[in-house]
Chain A
């Protein structure tokens, strides 16, 4: 995004906000003030980049109301330090927690059903410290809180999912962008495997369809894709800095399919290259065609 575009957009949206609402002629401008479909923010300071991305989307207040219980669901599946890009960047989680509290959230809870030992994943990912610093609650999954949820999907009829994500006021998906040998990439949709209970490695037999089935019932308020560092090979576990690429980028939007479709481009792919994205778009669960989206790119 060029600075001139940014200034222009800021001026237009400020003007839109300054005018009295409800006038039909201003409807379209008011829509613009709500924010674009996707924001792609790039900057050296991750917390500032996250903040700018949310501002461009209309501010966290658009998503989080006073007194809300908000769940942040990062990808903390593996016992790796942040520089290996196997887990969501802790600064992204920290910045989002702060923004939620600033928007009036009562409580921000952070969790993931990890593959490696959860204690190690939480600590080694840096997310436990980042969450604590921002005042968010980092909680371990409680095996009693999974409940069978009817999905009526093509691959999954029902599955035990973590109850809290249906009970919370707001849910924000905070995945990291990595490679995966079966789904090709793990982005936002794939991150929902972290709220699955049961023998979840069985879903790999029909992984793409299963991911689509999950988002039939899991509707996050917002998806913030961490592409500060992306893992380009040996995913999703990583472990080799040679496979890590630094992009300093955060992609945010309300359409989880659109975020994933954009995420594919970070790896030189198209959304349609990812079968789960293609199927999700086909099922009407989101928009895959980036040309139909209003995408705002900002530099911080």
Chain B
């Protein structure tokens, strides 16, 4: 049993890559400086589906995307080794699938083609300018689900447990648990509990993907994954090929262990595009008739995609574009008050064409203020980031969201440039503001305003209370030439619930048409 079979080697490699993925995920958090110190978006950089669809929709190529060409090239030579040996979602699917011992029969012989139709639709929509690949891309999907749901939930569970033991204050037990908790806090737990809108929903979707393994092992990878489909297309003529010797007596042992629909038992019908190079068939063969090696020639087993279906998918993908764009949010010059994008974001149209909804920016946001949309930015903007200042404001000295964005939807700006970016403007609700409405002193918005020359200034006035007594106090005003819409005022406003000062996207510097003032203040990048 100690013999190192290929299957065992694969499992070790899968474990290492999953560990790397989780390590980089946990490092996607500030330690107090404006650098993270690790290439936290590495898996996204290597993802050719994200590269291709973003290029088609936005016609831009981001810095590290040549890495995805390495993966594409590797797939051309070795086949879908990424799916079988590297992909964190694939590994998680393996783990979930192992919960079910009995292997059900495949749902239907042609289901593996579904992912190619999904891919065709995504490519067509991105060609016409709608970027939806991130919704289904396995790396985006996994990082998003971990960032917004699984990790916050795990943090909540662990912290609640240790808090309970802390409150019980048991001799010996509590000091020991506090020591363990301290170590966890320093290593794997987040600095503070993350809270995300839709965390529950996104988590259920991800658990659903994992649960599909109970229907069929690696259901997602076999039938749905668009990245798997792209790599499948690239691997059709891979040089690393499976061969079966004369020893084969068609016992069918390999058919049951195939992680995909590669038809290993069919000898000649073996589909290179579906093979994950998991080597299960090699290891299981009682005659040792199966081997993988470099060889020339075409494999017989083709994809046999139905042209009619491909065309239908392309049309569906293309038609999604006008269907999504008739939302009033996509109307020219439309400005939605609550769509406050992260600092350095492209104009809304270009932003939506680039954002792959990976959730990296929301994971790294130091105050937790970046939240995923559901339909607020239109269906086209599903799960894109918006700043919700009541949850967390944009920290003046932080540029991390721009650093982790894999597609440049949020540009990576030097700190000085980022501090000039206006996310919008704050506005005071005089009906709720304590000094305006209730003759009560409060200067918290002014106090917490981070611009070197404060954008909130105070006017000293004498007001009368109900009894007619004169009270001298200070009333706040927003200076639009200085306000950057960071939301620190809104976050800290002591008027609970609906705040007395709130930021809207009006005046955001990323779009010339969204300016409030006739003469836009200095630092309007679009001007």
Chain A contacts to B: CB under 8 angstroms: 78-80, 115-117, 119-124, 128, 140, 144, 180-182, 199, 201-202, 204-207, 234, 236-240
Q: Indicate if the CB atoms of A204 and B451 lie closer than 8 Å.
A: no
Residues of A within 8 A of B452 (CB): 234, 238-240
- Chain B CB within 10 Å — which of A116, A123, A234 has the most? A116
Q: Which of B397, B493, B496 contacts A124 (CB 8 A)?
A: B397
Q: Indicate if the CB atoms of B163 and A144 lie closer than 8 Å.
A: yes
Flag whether B474 is at the interface (Cβ < 8 A).
Answer: yes
Given contacts A79-B395, A237-B449, A239-B451, contact A119 B31 (CB under 8 A): yes
Question: Within the assembled complex, what's the spacing in Å between the Cα atoms of A156 and B395?
Answer: 31
Q: Indicate if the CB atoms of A234 and B366 lie closer than 8 Å.
A: no
Flag whether B32 is at the interface (Cβ < 8 A).
Answer: yes
Residues of A within 8 A of B448 (CB): 115, 237
The 5 nearest A-B residue pairs measured at CB: A123-B32, A239-B452, A119-B32, A240-B452, A201-B494
Question: Within the assembled complex, what's the spacing in Å between the Cα atoms of A236 and B454?
Answer: 11
Q: Indicate if the CB atoms of A236 and B395 lie closer than 8 Å.
A: no
Q: Mark B433-474, 1 if CB is under 8 A from A, else 0.
A: 010000011111011111111100010000000000000001
Q: Indicate if the CB atoms of A181 and B494 lie closer than 8 Å.
A: no
- Chain A CB within 10 Å — which of B32, B396, B434, B474 has the most? B32
Q: List 29 A-B residue pairs with CB atoms under 8 Å apart, sorted by A's residue number.
A: A78-B450, A79-B450, A80-B397, A116-B450, A117-B395, A119-B31, A120-B33, A120-B366, A124-B33, A140-B191, A144-B167, A181-B474, A182-B441, A182-B443, A182-B447, A201-B492, A201-B493, A204-B441, A204-B443, A204-B444, A204-B447, A204-B494, A205-B442, A206-B441, A234-B452, A236-B447, A237-B450, A239-B452, A240-B453
Flag whether B30 is at the interface (Cβ < 8 A).
Answer: yes
Q: Indicate if the CB atoms of B30 and A119 lie closer than 8 Å.
A: yes
Q: Indicate if the CB atoms of B458 and A181 lie closer than 8 Å.
A: yes
Q: Which of B441, B453, B493 contacts A207 (CB 8 A)?
A: B441
A202: nearest chain-B partner, CB-CB: B494
Given contacts A120-B397, A207-B441, A239-B451, contact A181 B446 (CB under 8 A): yes
Residues of A within 8 A of B31 (CB): 119, 123
Given contacts A180-B447, A204-B494, A237-B447, contact A117 B442 (CB under 8 A): no
Residues of B within 8 A of A119 (CB): 30-32, 191, 366
Residues of A within 8 A of B30 (CB): 117, 119-120
For window 495-511 of B, CB contacts with A under 8 Å fall at 496
Question: Within the assembled complex, what's the spacing in Å between the Cα atoms of A154 and B33?
Answer: 41
Q: Indicate if the CB atoms of A204 and B442 lie closer than 8 Å.
A: yes
Question: Within the assembled complex, what's the spacing in Å between the Cα atoms of A97 and B430?
Answer: 47
A199: nearest chain-B partner, CB-CB: B494
Question: Within the assembled complex, what's the spacing in Å between the Cα atoms of A124 and B31?
Answer: 11
Q: Which of A79, A181, A182, A201 contacts B397 (CB 8 A)?
A: A79
Residues of B within 8 A of A124 (CB): 32-33, 397
Question: Within the assembled complex, what's the spacing in Å between the Cα atoms of A72 and B167?
Answer: 26
Q: Indicate if the CB atoms of B443 and A181 lie closer than 8 Å.
A: yes
Flag whether B484 is at the interface (Cβ < 8 A).
Answer: no
Flag whether B398 is at the interface (Cβ < 8 A).
Answer: yes
Count A-B pairs with CB separation below 8 Å: 88
Q: Indicate if the CB atoms of B163 and A234 lie closer than 8 Å.
A: no
A243: nearest chain-B partner, CB-CB: B452
Flag whether B23 is at the interface (Cβ < 8 A).
Answer: no
B392: nearest chain-A partner, CB-CB: A117
Q: Mark B153-172, 1 if CB is under 8 A from A, else 0.
A: 00000000001001100000
Flag whether B367 is at the interface (Cβ < 8 A).
Answer: yes
15 other contacts beyond A119-B30, A182-B474, A207-B441, with CB at 8 A cut-off? A117-B30, A119-B31, A124-B33, A124-B397, A128-B32, A181-B443, A181-B458, A182-B443, A205-B440, A205-B441, A234-B454, A237-B449, A237-B450, A239-B450, A240-B453
Q: Indicate if the CB atoms of B395 and A181 lie closer than 8 Å.
A: no
Q: How far is the CB of B238 from chain A (nearest CB, A)?
A: 47
Residues of A within 8 A of B398 (CB): 117, 120
Q: How far is the CB of A137 from chain B (nearest CB, A)?
A: 12
Given contacts A122-B32, A181-B458, A204-B442, contact A117 B450 (CB under 8 A): no
Q: How far is the CB of A196 from chain B (nearest CB, A)?
A: 13
Chief secondary structure at chain B's binding surface = loop
Q: Indicate if the CB atoms of B32 and A205 lie closer than 8 Å.
A: no
Residues of B within 8 A of A204 (CB): 441-444, 447, 494
B474: nearest chain-A partner, CB-CB: A181
B494: nearest chain-A partner, CB-CB: A201
Question: Within the assembled complex, what's the spacing in Å between the Cα atoms of A79 and B451?
Answer: 12
Q: Indicate if the CB atoms of B32 and A116 lie closer than 8 Å.
A: no
Question: Within the assembled complex, what's the spacing in Å between the Cα atoms of A122 and B441?
Answer: 30
Residues of A within 8 A of B451 (CB): 239
Question: Within the assembled complex, what's the spacing in Å between the Cα atoms of A115 and B396?
Answer: 12
B397: nearest chain-A partner, CB-CB: A79
Given contacts A120-B398, A122-B32, contact A144 B166 (CB under 8 A): yes
Q: Indicate if the CB atoms of A201 and B32 lie closer than 8 Å.
A: no
Question: Within the assembled complex, what's the spacing in Å between the Cα atoms of A116 and B448?
Answer: 9
Q: How far is the CB of A163 from chain B (nearest CB, A)?
A: 13
Q: Indicate if the CB atoms of A79 and B474 lie closer than 8 Å.
A: no
Question: Within the assembled complex, what's the spacing in Å between the Cα atoms of A76 and B454?
Answer: 19
Q: How far is the CB of A54 from chain B (nearest CB, A)?
A: 29
Residues of B within 8 A of A121 (CB): 32
Residues of B within 8 A of A122 (CB): 32
Question: Within the assembled complex, what's the spacing in Å between the Cα atoms of A201 and B445?
Answer: 10
- Chain B CB within 10 Å — which of A140, A205, A206, A207 has the most? A205
A117: nearest chain-B partner, CB-CB: B366
Residues of B within 8 A of A79 (CB): 395-397, 450
For window 342-396 of B, CB contacts with A under 8 Å fall at 366-367, 395-396
Residues of A within 8 A of B163 (CB): 144
Q: Indicate if the CB atoms of A205 and B434 lie closer than 8 Å.
A: yes
Residues of A within 8 A of B167 (CB): 144
Q: Indicate if the CB atoms of A123 and B494 lie closer than 8 Å.
A: no
Q: Mark B20-35, 1 if CB is under 8 A from A, else 0.
A: 0000000000111100
Question: Within the assembled complex, what's the spacing in Å between the Cα atoms of A258 and B98?
Answer: 71
A241: nearest chain-B partner, CB-CB: B452
Question: Within the assembled complex, what's the spacing in Å between the Cα atoms of A199 and B444?
Answer: 12
Question: Within the assembled complex, what's the spacing in Å between the Cα atoms of A144 and B451?
Answer: 32
Q: Indicate if the CB atoms of A181 and B447 lie closer than 8 Å.
A: yes
B457: nearest chain-A partner, CB-CB: A181
A242: nearest chain-B partner, CB-CB: B452
Residues of A within 8 A of B33 (CB): 120, 123-124
Question: Within the assembled complex, what's the spacing in Å between the Cα atoms of A225 and B496?
Answer: 34
For window 208-238 of B, CB contacts with A under 8 Å fall at none
Q: How far is the CB of B210 from chain A (nearest CB, A)?
A: 33
- Chain A CB within 10 Å — which of B395, B447, B493 has the most? B447
Question: Within the assembled complex, what's the spacing in Å between the Cα atoms of A202 and B442?
Answer: 8
- Chain B CB within 10 Å — which of A117, A204, A239 has the most? A117
Question: Within the assembled complex, what's the spacing in Å between the Cα atoms of A229 and B495?
Answer: 34
Residues of B within 8 A of A206 (CB): 441
Residues of A within 8 A of B440 (CB): 205
Q: How far is the CB of B461 from chain A (nearest CB, A)?
A: 14
Question: Within the assembled complex, what's the spacing in Å between the Cα atoms of A12 and B373?
Answer: 73
Question: Within the assembled complex, what's the spacing in Å between the Cα atoms of A67 and B443?
Answer: 43
